[in-house]
Every structure is written in C-alpha cells, then in structure tokens.
Amino acid sequence: MTAEPPSRAAPQRFFIVVGTSALASGAFSIDDIPSTGGRIDVLLRCVRAALLCSHGVRRDAAIVLVLCGGSSAPRTLRIDGLTAKFLRPDERSLGALVKKALSAPRRDSDEVRPGVFVRDGGLDVALAWIGDVTLYALEEGAPDVREAAMVGGPRAFVLGDHRGFDEATKALLASRGARSVGLGPVSVHAEDAITIVSNELDRRGPTALSDERA
Ligand SMILES: C[S@@+](CC[C@H](N)C(=O)[O-])C[C@H]1O[C@@H](n2cnc3c(N)ncnc32)[C@H](O)[C@@H]1O
C-alpha cells in the first residue's frame, strides 16, 4: 500500500489539515455531514479552498486531510490537483468524493480514485508522504506570513481544525522544524486561512491553474 503518486509534476504547495475528530471512514451521511462526520465538513471546505478557484483547479496544489476520528483512525487522505477529476466546489459533492474514497476496498495502490489517495496513519505519515518540503505551521499570533521570507521549492502549510492544534501536534511540528506563521490579528476559519495563504503565494510567483470549469 505504498505506491507513490505520479511524480511527473510534484505539487509545489501542500495544505495539511489536522481533523481532530473528523471521521476516518466513509460512515457519515451526506445529508448531515457535520454531525455524522465528526466535523469533517470543516475539512471538505478546506479541499475546496486549497484546490479550486473560480473556473479552475490549482494544478500545483495538493491537500492532505489527517482524519483522527472513529475506530479506523488515524487515516490520511490526499487529493492532488494535478490528477484529481470531477472536483466540484460544493460541500455535498466533495463529501461524496471523500466518502467513496474512504469506503474503497484496499488494493495494491493507495490511489483509490484518480488523484485521490488514502493511507493508514496520522500526521507523521502525512509528513513522510509529502517528502522534502519547507514546513510551515499556521498559528494565531505567530510572525506574519506577509513578512516571511519564503524559500523556493515545495512548501507545506499545516493547519488545525475548529479546535486548533493539540499539544502532541505542536510537538511533532516543532520536532520537524516547522516555521510558525500567522495571518493577522483575527482568528479565521481553516478554509479562509488556506485562501489567504494561497493568495500570498499567488502574489509571489507563478501559479499553475487549469482552465477547467469547477
Ligand atoms: C478556526 S481556526 C482554530 C481556532 C482554534 N480555537 C485555535 O485556538 O486554534 C483553524 C485553524 O486555522 C488557522 N488559523 C486561523 N486563523 C489564523 C491566524 N490568524 N493566523 C494563523 N493561522 C490561523 C490555524 O491553523 C487554526 O488552527
């Protein structure tokens, strides 16, 4: 179960969201995602923010959801903008995609649908999976991302869910040398934090967008 995603164009920006209670199985109802999915709705909105913009898919971006809720936890789900198909912006469609991916039978490959991958394990697995990147932890009160000198090459930004980071997550990120960055004085929703970071990166360099309508 360790086949790597295609490396022909590795993502340049990763967003990793730690879902403290988000269900690690597909046993949630599409008709009531928040209460049956352990607030996996928070993470679904992060998928939209990370991978979709108006009329396009961010081909150079990937999102990694660390799912820590339920008896199957922890599991990690990754979606690559380059190869994922049929990404829609609404929560219900993204919920259906994630539900199917988490319910897919185990095969030789981690790729359960085009561009969608599932592995057992939590944040440590997610960090190993994305390889050699510059790691940033999004934390309220940290030095402003606008002032941060960002080195080139692939970058990963780690975010908390509605509860923020627990102590174990903070310790793991610190042990991996994550640089803490903040987004200004207001605590925003995780998906909004992703939009702010995406905008900051867009302003600093070329962005790979598809012309596909989302
Ligand atoms: C809704 S917030 C979490 C709020 C939670 N009560 C806490 O104490 O962290 C979700 C995530 O978005 C990111 N975030 C939100 N506002 C931020 C800010 N102003 N600066 C940096 N990161 C922020 C953080 O990663 C946070 O864990």
Report all structural domains of the chain as residue ranges with CATH numbers, in order of start.
13-204 (3.40.1280.10)
The pLDDT tens digits of the residues spanning 3-22 come to: 444 445 789 999 999 999 99
Mean pLDDT of 179-189: 97
Burial level of 205, CB count in 10 A (0-12/13-18/19+)? exposed
User: What is the model's pTM?
Assistant: 0.93
> In sequence order, what E strands does 24-105 have?
52-53, 56-57, 61-69, 75-80
Instruction: Give the atom of ligand 1 at the shortest distance from the alpha carbon of 185.
Output: 19
User: Does 123 score more than 50 pLDDT?
Assistant: yes
Q: What is the pLDDT of residue 170?
A: 97
Q: Which residue's C-alpha comes closest to atom 7 of ligand 1? A: 164
- With a Cβ cut-off of 6 Å, ligand 1 is lined by 138-140, 159-160, 162-165, 182-184, 186-190, 193
Band of pLDDT at residue 201, cut at 50, 70 and 90: very high
Band of pLDDT at residue 125, cut at 50, 70 and 90: very high
Q: What is the pLDDT of residue 214?
A: 37
Q: What is the pLDDT of residue 97?
A: 97
Contact 183, 197 (CB under 8 A): yes
Mutate to test the pocket of ligand 1, among 15, 169, 187 (most ligand atoms within 8 A of CB): 187
Say if strands 134-138 and 52-53 run parallel, antiparallel, or are unpaired: unpaired
Mutate to test the pocket of ligand 1, among 46, 138, 196 (most ligand atoms within 8 A of CB): 138
Q: Which residue's C-alpha comes closest to atom 25 of ligand 1? A: 159
